[in-house]
Amino acid sequence: MKRGAWIALFAVVAFAAILLARMPAAWVIPGGGSARGACASVEGTLWSGVCSGLRVQGTPVGDFSWELYPMRLLYGRLAGHVTATRAANTASADVELGLGQRATLRHVKADLALDPALIPGLPATLHGRATLDLELVRIEHGVITQLKGRIEAHDLEDRAGLATPLGSYVLTFPEAKGEPTGKLRDLDGPLAVEGTLRLTPQPGYELEGLVAPRRGAPPEIVSSLPFLGAPDATGRRPFSVVGTF
């Protein structure tokens, strides 16, 4: 190849790199609310920007910002730091997407109100807040294969009729290796709970443990426990729940 051709090639590559680095995000991210997922407005570039008023299938998600790491593309991965906010709800994480439907999330932090619009399957009468502090989440083909960190649910209430306090709970995944298995226990409230949550490949979950009412527990909670079976010598009853996502 002649020298002039090399210079032209380098010029084209340099132009493409500059174009990608400075490409307005609005060129590639849909706006106006007409798509399944769309932003009311988009600012910044493809590599660093903000999507304001994000809606997914008509559900308002809030504002979404990102900071991508271009050098990771050399290894066949799309990676960056993302943040989402909606009123008093916040979430952030370092995200890396690889080939073969693989995703890795690190340093996941979130403080969210429980909202059935954003969490499919959540009972509409259940209210409270959840906090996430996850060191590592690995997902392959839609299945969580590794999980390490802590998830807390605070001030849960069942508002079917009169509001019934359900307490606060913590779920801890201590190891990132092996099948994701977490330890469940109560932090406070009308129920003493200890259990284990195992994530299965379906994808699904298996939850089992022991529960007992505390002194002063609401009558509606106490009366709902006998269907679990007879209590043991300490007053605890076994429970087991299996489901799929």
pLDDT for 81: 95
pLDDT for 30: 53
Residue 116 lies in a domain: yes
pLDDT tens per residue, range 137-148? 998 988 889 999
Reported in sequence order, the residue ranges of 1-69 that DSSP labels E, i.e. its strands, are: 37-38, 41-44, 48-56, 59-68
Picking from 213, 216, 215, 208, the residue whose alpha carbon sits closest to that of residue 238 is 208
pLDDT for 2: 46
pLDDT for 82: 93
Residue 88 lies in a domain: yes
The tally of domains found in the chain comes to 1
Least confident of 89-93, 176-180, 189-193, 212-216: 176-180
Contact 83, 65 (CB under 8 A): yes
Say what percent of the chain tops pLDDT 90: 40
Residue 135 lies in a domain: yes
pLDDT tens per residue, range 98-145? 888 889 999 999 999 988 777 767 788 889 999 999 999 998 988 889
Residue 136 lies in a domain: yes
Residue 212 lies in a domain: no
Residue 89 lies in a domain: yes
Residue 190 lies in a domain: no
pLDDT tens per residue, range 54-74? 887 777 888 999 999 988 888
Residue 187 lies in a domain: no
pLDDT tens per residue, range 183-202? 999 999 999 999 999 988 88
Domain housing 160: 69-176
Q: What count of residues does the chain have?
A: 245
The 10 Å CB-count burial string (b at 16+, else e) for 13-52 is: eeeeeeeeeeeebbeebebeeeeebbbeebebebbebbbe
